[in-house]
Amino acid sequence: MYSIYSLSKTLIEGTEAAQMREWYPDAGDKNSNNVIFVGTHPTAVNPYIVGDLIDAEGEKLSGDALVLEVAKELAGEARERAIHLTKAEAVRLAKSPLWRLWTKDYGENRPAFEADYLAVKAQFPALPDYTESTTYQQAADWLLAGIKSI
């Protein structure tokens, strides 16, 4: 199992997040305040477990619905609890255009950014129209605002 913790504020000694950072100092953040650790805290309090997410009919969430639910949890202002997910779930998130816009991991690959932006805009028409001057950060900020409004 993997864990995602929010490290957006100063780490307080003894907290789960601070201990995870100590145990996994090289954990990645993918251009956000959410750090992905390749393990879990042995005494995690009330973790958000991705594998337990279900839809209204009781079916496990998958695809864009899964990514959106995890994004809503990630967007929480004062999230202190861990998000627990399997490696396969982490890979699914990483392959989603929604996730890639969130993490802004494009380097010089502007065509990939445009394709992801247009794919996400098709799902969320309220996003501003894509232009050549749309920045990676603007897209992430607009996406975050939209997720928080859901």
Bridge partners of 72?
none
Contacts of 5 (CB under 8 A, 6+ apart): 16, 17, 20, 21, 34, 35, 37, 82, 83
DSSP code, position 27: -
- Could you read off the pLDDT of 92-139 as tens digits, one per residue? 888 999 888 988 889 899 999 999 999 999 988 889 999 999 999 999
> Whole-angstrom Cα distance, residue 148 to residue 100?
17
- 149 and 114, same structural domain? yes
Query: Which domain, by its residues, includes 118?
Result: 96-150
- 7 and 58, same structural domain? yes
Number of domains forming the structure of the chain: 2
- 81 and 107, same structural domain? no
- 79 and 119, same structural domain? no
Which contiguous run of DSSP H or E holds residue 35?
Answer: strand 34-37
Boundary of a domain, candidates 88, 115, 140: 88
- Could you read off the pLDDT of 15-48 as tens digits, one per residue? 898 899 899 988 876 666 788 899 999 999 999 9
> Whole-angstrom Cα distance, residue 37 to residue 65?
23
- 108 and 74, same structural domain? no
- 48 and 10, same structural domain? yes
